[in-house]
């Protein structure tokens, strides 16, 4: 409840919130905490609408947190067809927690409100197939402006599928990096080669494998850009905007030998990038902390590294519209004007990346967005300005069809 109260008050990033949990917290307790926090944030809009009808004056954030957690538990119980006594247990638990974390008076408020929610939330049904944007936004807990954007770009059916996808809990995927056979008794093969599903409750098994480098938590959608780039053995590769390093590691594993140069601005994720680059095995890895838009060639020279590469990947910052099932708070942070702002920044990054590509080389531009403003339109604008480049191939994955995170990748060749 304290993490939910912090999110309601400060809108901290979910990953930052989860990292604040004490290291001494047990695996099962940590998993339950994450489940509740993610559930509240995922269903925030729907819960907010119901609470707005029941509570005239919002109480303290800690008391609000108790209401939101109880509301999510009621939604979850209804979806799973829980037993008849479950709502009463949810009411009792929320009241007792409020007594401990707030006050008896606030506990009485929680008791009254949660009892009312227990009669409202289970009875709510999804909107019909031709429902307007406001009804879809309300039930599926997305900003209305974003639903309208998707309806215009994708159509009613695809938008409904995307909303349903985003509201479903995400499985945990991992990539097996070791040459040995993965533990088949619990690591479940996915339909994508090298990627596995990690079942819940196996963190004691996962932790040591992550520490040893045999396993890396990674969604199958990340493979698209690397597959298009097609890094070969012994080839020097430049990975731009590379933190936290998941794609750098995937490139290194695909190469087997050679050198990868990973560049990003100095930031908090640099530590994770350093850790990932320490696990590239036979592939030599170099980390360059530099801003791609501020003279990266000079920094490369300072590191005695080449300033042109035959293979370059630039995985640009974006709206994250393809990964909202995993990053449940993104939809509440995203603003309508962000798409145009991102596109301008992405175009500048793509142009800067192109200047580091050797003649005849290949450049992959990638995002985790499913919005054409950040994908096709950025690439088209770049090609209009740079006649020496041609688009050879592209791959766009949409979650409701490809069954993993959304992603886009475009392979450009320099003459």
Size of the chain, expressed as the number of residues it contains: 415
The answer for residues whose C-beta is within 8 angstroms of residue 375's C-beta and 6 or more apart is 367, 369, 396, 408, 410
Residues forming a β-bridge with 262:
239, 287
Tokens 């490139």 locate to 251
Contact between 265 and 291 under an 8 Å Cβ cutoff? The reply is: yes
| Structure tokens, 57 | 């004056």
From 33, 241, 318, 368, the catalytic residue: 368
β-bridge pairing 283-289 and 172-176 = unpaired
CA distance linking residue 33 with residue 53, whole number of Å = 27
CA distance linking residue 114 with residue 118, whole number of Å = 6
CA distance linking residue 250 with residue 95, whole number of Å = 48
CA distance linking residue 53 with residue 404, whole number of Å = 36
β-bridge pairing 309-315 and 283-289 = unpaired
**Which residue, among 210, 207, 217, 285, has the nearest Cα to 246 in the 3D structure?**
217
**Which residue, among 78, 73, 80, 64, has the nearest Cα to 113 in the 3D structure?**
64
HSE, CB side, 13 Å, CA atoms: give it for residue 51. 23
Backbone angles phi, psi at 330, to 5 degrees: -60, -45
- Say whether the peptide bond before residue 244 is cis (omega within 30 degrees of 0): yes
**How does DSSP classify residue 251?**
H
CA distance linking residue 200 with residue 189, whole number of Å = 15
Contact between 60 and 1 under an 8 Å Cβ cutoff? The reply is: no
With the C-alpha atoms ordered 187, 242, 11, 16, is the resulting torsion angle positive or negative? positive
Q: Is 368 a catalytic residue?
A: yes
Type and span of the H or E element at 189: strand 188-189
SS3 at position 230: coil
Just list the catalytic residues. 368
């Amino acid at each position: 409840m304290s993490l939910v109260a912090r999110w309601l008050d400060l809108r901290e990033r979910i990953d930052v919130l989860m990292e604040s949990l004490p290291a001494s917290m047990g695996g099962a307790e940590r998993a339950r905490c994450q489940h509740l926090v993610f559930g509240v944030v995922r269903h925030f809009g729907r819960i907010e609408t119901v609470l707005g009808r029941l509570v005239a004056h919002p109480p303290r954030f800690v008391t609000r947190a108790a209401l939101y957690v109880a509301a999510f538990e009621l939604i979850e119980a209804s979806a799973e067809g829980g037993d008849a006594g479950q709502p009463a247990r949810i009411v009792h638990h929320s009241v007792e927690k409020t007594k401990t974390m707030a006050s008896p008076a606030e506990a009485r408020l929680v008791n009254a409100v949660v009892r009312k929610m227990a009669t409202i939330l289970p009875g709510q049904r999804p909107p019909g197939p031709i429902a307007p944007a406001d009804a879809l936004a309300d039930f599926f807990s997305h900003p209305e402006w974003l639903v309208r954007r998707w309806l215009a770009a994708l159509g009613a059916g695809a938008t409904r599928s995307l909303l349903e996808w985003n509201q479903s809990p995400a499985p945990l995927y991992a990539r097996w990096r070791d040459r040995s056979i993965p533990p088949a008794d619990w690591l479940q093969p996915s339909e994508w080669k090298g990627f596995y599903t990690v079942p819940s409750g196996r963190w004691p098994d996962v932790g040591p494998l992550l520490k040893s480098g045999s396993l890396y938590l990674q969604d199958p959608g990340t493979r698209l850009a690397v597959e298009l780039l097609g890094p070969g053995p012994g080839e020097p590769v430049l990975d731009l905007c590379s933190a936290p390093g998941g794609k750098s590691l995937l490139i290194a594993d695909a190469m087997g030998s050679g050198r990868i140069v990973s560049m990003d601005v100095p930031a908090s994720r640099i530590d994770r990038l350093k850790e990932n680059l320490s696990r590239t095995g036979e592939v030599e890895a170099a980390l360059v902390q530099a801003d791609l838009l501020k003279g990266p060639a000079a920094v490369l020279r300072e590191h005695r590294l080449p300033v042109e590469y035959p293979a370059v990947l630039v995985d640009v910052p974006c709206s994250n519209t393809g990964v909202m099932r995993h990053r449940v708070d993104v939809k509440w942070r995203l603003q309508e004007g962000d798409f145009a702002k991102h596109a301008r920044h992405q175009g500048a990054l793509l142009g800067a990346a192109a200047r580091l590509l050797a003649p005849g080389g290949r450049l992959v531009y990638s995002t985790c967005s499913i919005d054409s403003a950040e994908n096709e339109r950025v690439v088209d604008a770049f090609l209009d300005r740079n006649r020496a480049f041609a688009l050879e191939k592209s791959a766009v994955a949409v979650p409701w069809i490809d069954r993993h995170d959304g992603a886009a990748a475009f392979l450009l060749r320099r003459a």
